C-alpha cells in the first residue's frame, strides 16, 4: 500500500525552488506522481503529487523538513495527505441568489459539498435545510475576508470551489491558491458583456442571442478558461425581467454541467484554453 500527499508551494518566484523541493522529497524516499508549476506576475505556484511506500514514510520528518524549507525559501509550503480514489470535497460561495445553489444540491455529483461561505447571513436558513455548515463572512475588507475564507477552506480540506453567483471579485492572492479549481458561472456568453450587469448590457445592446458561461476563475476578471456555455434566443418584445429569468435557469444547468465535467476528469487547461480529454 502507498501513502499519497499533495504539496503546494506559493511565493515570489526565485531560482531553484523546484530543485530544492524535489531533491528534499527524493531524500524522503518519495515518488513524484505529478508536478504542475507556473509563474505569473512574478508569483510562483507549484502543486506536486507524491507517494511513498508506507514503510518508508516518516511523516514527522517530512512535515518538519518542509517547514524548514519554506522558511529558507521564504515561501508558503503546505502538505496534505490524501487518498487517490476518495471523493472530493468542495465549497460553495454564495451571495443572495439561490438558483445555482439549489441546482448543485439537487444534482447527483460525485463529490461532497462540505462548506458554504456567504457574504450575507440571509442564506443561512436555506443551507441549514441541507445540513451543511454555513460561514457568514463580511466582505467589507476583502483582504481580511479572503484570509478568513482561505483558512476555512484549509481547515475543511476543500479540493475545489464553486461560485454559485458569488458577487464579489476574488483577488489574485486567493485565486492563485486554487488554480483551475474555482468554477464560476457568468451571465453572458463571454468574452461579451463581462462585469455584474451582463443581462442589462445584452438587453440594451439589442443582441438576438444571450447566454451564460461557466469558467475557471483566473486573475483577470471574467477572462478565465471557458468550461461550458449555453444560449437562448431573445425574441421581439422580450423584456429585461424575462431575459434574467431565462438566464438564471440556464445558469444553474450550465454550472452543474461544468462541475460534472470537472469531476469526470475530462478537462485539461492548455495555454488558457479548456479542452475535453
Q: 240-263 and 99-106 are packed helices; what angle lies between their axes, rounded to 10 degrees? A: 40
CB burial of residue 22 (10 Å; 0-12, 13-18, 19+): middle
The domain defined by 2-82 folds into Alpha-Beta Plaits (3.30.70)
Mean pLDDT along residues 87-94: 95
Torsion of CA 100, 201, 137, 159, to 10 degrees: 50
Q: How many percent of the chain have pLDDT more than 90?
A: 66
Indicate if the pLDDT at residue 128 is higher than 70.
yes
Indicate if the pLDDT at residue 271 is higher than 50.
no
Domain boundaries, the chain: 2-82, 88-276
Q: Higher model confidence: residue 218 or residue 181?
A: 181
For residue 267, the model assigns a pLDDT of 55
DSSP H helical segments within the chain, as ranges? 17-27, 59-73, 99-106, 124-129, 142-155, 172-175, 198-205, 240-263
CB burial of residue 192 (10 Å; 0-12, 13-18, 19+): middle
- Residue-by-residue DSSP string for 27-96: HTT-EEEEEEEEEETTEEEEEEEEEEEGGG--HHHHHHHHHHHHHHHTSEEEEEEE-TTSPEEEEEEESS
According to DSSP, the β-strands at 111-118 and 76-82 are: unpaired
According to DSSP, the β-strands at 2-12 and 209-216 are: unpaired
Q: Which pTM does this prediction carry?
A: 0.85
Nearest to 255 by CA among 218, 219, 217: 217
For residue 203, the model assigns a pLDDT of 84
Q: May I ask the CATH architecture of the domain 88-276?
A: 3-Layer(aba) Sandwich (3.40)
Three-state DSSP at 109 gives coil
Distance of CA 117 to the CA centre of its chain: 13
Residue 148 to residues 15, 95, 163, 174, 204, Cα–Cα distance (Å)? 31, 16, 17, 11, 39
Indicate if the pLDDT at residue 222 is higher than 90.
no
Asked whether the beta carbons of 7 and 20 are under 8 A apart, the reply is no
According to DSSP, the β-strands at 182-186 and 160-163 are: parallel
d(CA 100, CA 94): 9
User: Which residues form the catalytic set?
Assistant: 222
For residue 272, the model assigns a pLDDT of 55
d(CA 198, CA 218): 19
pLDDT tens-place string over residues 155-197: 999 999 999 999 999 998 898 888 889 999 999 988 888 877 8
Amino acid at each position: 500500500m502507498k501513502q499519497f500527499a499533495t504539496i503546494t508551494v506559493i511565493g515570489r518566484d526565485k531560482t531553484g525552488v523546484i530543485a530544492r523541493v524535489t531533491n528534499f522529497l527524493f531524500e524522503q524516499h518519495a515518488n513524484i506522481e505529478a508536478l504542475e508549476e507556473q509563474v505569473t506576475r512574478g508569483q510562483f505556484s507549484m502543486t506536486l503529487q507524491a507517494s511513498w511506500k508506507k514503510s518508508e514514510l516518516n511523516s514527522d520528518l517530512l512535515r518538519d523538513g518542509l517547514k524548514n524549507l519554506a522558511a529558507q525559501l521564504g515561501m508558503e509550503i503546505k502538505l496534505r495527505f490524501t487518498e487517490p480514489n476518495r471523493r472530493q470535497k468542495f465549497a460553495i460561495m454564495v451571495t443572495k441568489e439561490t438558483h445555482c445553489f439549489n441546482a448543485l444540491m439537487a444534482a447527483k455529483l460525485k463529490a461532497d459539498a462540505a462548506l458554504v461561505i456567504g457574504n450575507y447571513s440571509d442564506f443561512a436558513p436555506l443551507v441549514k435545510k441541507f445540513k451543511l455548515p454555513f460561514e457568514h463572512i463580511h466582505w467589507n475588507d476583502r483582504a481580511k475576508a479572503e484570509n478568513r475564507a482561505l483558512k476555512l477552506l484549509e481547515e475543511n480540506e476543500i479540493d475545489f470551489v464553486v461560485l454559485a453567483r458569488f458577487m464579489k471579485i476574488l483577488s489574485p492572492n486567493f485565486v492563485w491558491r486554487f488554480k483551475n479549481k474555482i468554477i464560476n458561472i457568468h451571465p453572458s456568453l463571454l468574452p461579451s458583456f463581462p462585469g455584474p450587469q451582463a443581462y442589462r448590457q445584452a438587453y440594451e445592446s439589442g443582441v438576438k442571442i444571450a447566454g451564460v458561461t461557466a469558467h475557471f476563475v483566473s486573475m483577470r476578471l471574467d477572462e478565465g478558461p471557458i468550461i461550458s456555455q449555453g444560449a437562448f434566443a431573445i425574441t421581439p418584445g422580450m423584456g429585461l425581467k424575462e431575459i434574467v429569468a431565462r438566464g438564471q435557469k440556464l445558469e444553474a444547468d450550465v454550472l452543474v454541467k461544468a462541475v460534472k465535467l470537472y469531476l469526470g476528469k475530462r478537462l485539461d487547461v492548455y495555454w488558457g484554453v479548456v479542452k475535453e480529454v
